[in-house]
Amino acid sequence: MTSFLLNGQRVQVGAQDAHLSLLQFLRERGLTGTKEGCAEGECGACAVVLLRRDARGLLRYEPVNSCLLLTGSVVDHEVLTVEGVADAGRLHPVQSAMVELGGSQCGYCTPGFVMSLFAEYYRPDRVGYDPEAISGNLCRCTGYRPIRAVAEALGTPDGADPRQRRLQLAPPALGSVSLEGARSFHRPCSLDEVFAMLERRPDIAITSGGSDLVVEMNQRHRRFDAVLSLENVTELRGMAWTADSLRIGASNTLTELEPVIAGKVPILEQMLPLFSSRLVRNRATLGGNLGTASPIGDSPPALLALDASLELVSAAATRRVPLADFFLGYRKTALAPGELIAAVLIPLPLPEVQRFYKVSKRVLDDISTVAAGFSLRRGTDGRVESARLAYGGVAATPVRAHAAEDALVGRPFDDEAEARVRPLLEGAFAPLDDHRGSADYRRAMVVELFSKFRFDTSAQLT
């Protein structure tokens, strides 16, 4: 039976539903509490929660943007919408607090805030107010102070709370999904199933979290005859530290990655909070961020600074490609037909000095104008042994500034080194003008971000 649990009721999903966003699916069934603000992941008015295991294996409620979730993806899941959080006619404590503290005015954003805060209310390790919990929700009229007051006033669920009790039970079991129709949808569990499908339908559209692909469907009206979702493929999930590398599954979400790198990989710790919002990171993957090959993706500069490589798999073979050789041109990668990204491999030991910088119109929940990932390794004499200066937003692909990197090697990282490298960076790239920033602005950022790196690390390096 192809179905999912919606506010405790089982609902069927047919092939005709699978390519609909969950938001459309809900609203067509009369669940209009979930709102459409932007249909591109920017406002959170469409937030719903899924029941999922986190990276430590704990079951939790996870808020996601239903506008970016294909209905086929939620088969076998348990989904709660704003209509489903009250208990026996009594408002949920988060709903009551929104009323009592004046957190709602026109009310358009309110269901999304309620769902994000509902998930936060039950987060197992919550300590105090975490602004991240509502980083993907926008309100245009109330003002954030009363909404923040609601977030600050969240109590603790007691053992009798049925939502809390649900977290002690088994997670939903996600099986393989195959919905054949005029538009087909497939969510396999194993690589064998993936390759069998790719052999049958080599032109099938691939997705993981959908945060790029479903935007294309919603905003550019792209339609696909068939979609293959990699989100639940066992071999593409799992993160592990070994003696010589950190392996990150291509289908792990960025939220799952956060606790794995916390306190261990500073450049990723700096990058992840600047990457969209919690609602998007609950779905977005590294496989998708690299697979989409955007020149302004945030993970490539950070991963280039770490000398990461990719494990690529096809039905015939597995191969390893340095990330530096992966981007071949604008939105063009080294992936051969039928090949997928299986994992990102970060070699150990990590560089001694790492920094990530992102220039964007607003600090959180925005796309980069320019991003930079920098790292240095130094010898016992304090001289630079190797340097990585990687940028996004300044060329058709994410790129490294090789001449500048070479000019740093063999010398101390001091004022003289900075003065020698700045002119090399000035002419390193020929960026484009666009609505996010002019070519001149981007060229200036290439140089100034490097000087910021030097300034920010000078205390660490003396």
Ligand X SMILES: Cc1cc2nc3c(=O)[nH]c(=O)nc-3n(C[C@H](O)[C@H](O)[C@H](O)COP(=O)(O)OP(=O)(O)OC[C@H]3O[C@@H](n4cnc5c(N)ncnc54)[C@H](O)[C@@H]3O)c2cc1C
With CB atoms as reference, the residue minimizing the distance to ligand X is 288
Cβ–Cβ under 8 Å, residues 331 and 291: no
Stretch that binds ligand FES, among 30-38, 157-165, 243-251, 254-262 (CB under 6 A): 30-38
Stretch that binds ligand FES, among 107-115, 150-158, 283-291, 372-380 (CB under 6 A): 107-115
**Residues that contact ligand FES, how many (by CB under 6 A):** 23
Sites of contact with ligand X (CB under 6 A): 40-42, 206-213, 215, 230, 236, 250, 275-276, 280, 283-285, 287-289, 291-292, 297-298, 340-341, 367
CB of 38 to ligand FES, least distance (A): 4
Report the nearest approach of ligand X to the CB of residue 275 (Å): 4
As measured in angstroms, the least distance from the Cβ of 134 to ligand FES is 11
Quick note: the x/- pattern for ligand FES over 34-63, rule CB under 6 A, is --xxxx-xxxxxx-----------------
Question: Which lies closer to ligand X via its Cβ, residue 233 or residue 408?
Answer: 233
CB of 4 to ligand FES, least distance (A): 19
Residues 135-194 touching ligand FES, rule: CB under 6 A, are: 139-142
Select the binding partner of residue 292 from ligand X, ligand FES, none (C-beta < 5 to 8 A, by kind): ligand X
Q: Is 20 in the site for ligand FES (CB under 6 A)?
A: no
Q: Measured from the CB of residue 19, what is the shortest distance to ligand FES in angstroms?
A: 17
80 DSSP β-pair partners: 49
Which residues make up the interface to ligand FES (CB under 6 A)?
Answer: 36-39, 41-46, 65, 67, 104-110, 139-142
